[in-house]
Amino acid sequence: MDLSDINTRMEQMARERKEQLKAVRTTMLGVLREAGVTQIEASYDGYGDSGNVNDVIIKPKGSKLNAEQDKRLKDFLWDVPYSLHPGFEINEGGYGEVIWDVLEDKIDVSHVARFVDTDHYDHEDV
């Protein structure tokens, strides 16, 4: 397998992930609308090779999902920023917020990447 084959396979995998995410989005959109949900706000955080969706606010207040729907929603809310920044949970990681306007089916992601920075100085013959 050469570099071209690897790149082709990676592109194919990315297309497949995008299609899977689109299918899950369509399903979740129907579930949320049926439950009367108009907006979702969620924060996520990942570092050290793991991460989680931490807080999910469902609007209007009082809208309810069952346990399975809640888990599927949290998985989706993780997958959305992950699809934009794959591997962000590695090392120092990243965090952010996902806002989903369910009525308009518009998802906004605000993502922050953490990184280690260094400064290097050489001093000769001082």
pLDDT of 14 strictly over 90: no
Confidence band of 1 (pLDDT split at 50, 70, 90)? confident
Helix/strand/coil (H/E/C) assignment for every residue in 16-52: HHHHHHHHHHHHHHHHHHHCCCCEEEEEEEEECCEEE
Q: According to DSSP H, which parts of 35-122 are helical?
A: 67-84
Q: What is the pTM of this model?
A: 0.86
The two three-digit tokens of residue 42, written as one number: 């969620």
The tens digit of pLDDT for each residue in 22-78 reads 999 999 999 999 999 999 999 999 999 999 999 999 999 989 899 999 999 999 999
Residue-level length of the chain: 126
The two three-digit tokens of residue 22, written as one number: 């689109």
Q: List the one residue out of 102, 105, 96 whose CA is nearest residue 78.
A: 96
Collapse the DSSP code of 82 into the 3-class scheme (helix H, G, I; strand E, B; otherwise coil) and give the result: helix
The two three-digit tokens of residue 2, written as one number: 């050469």
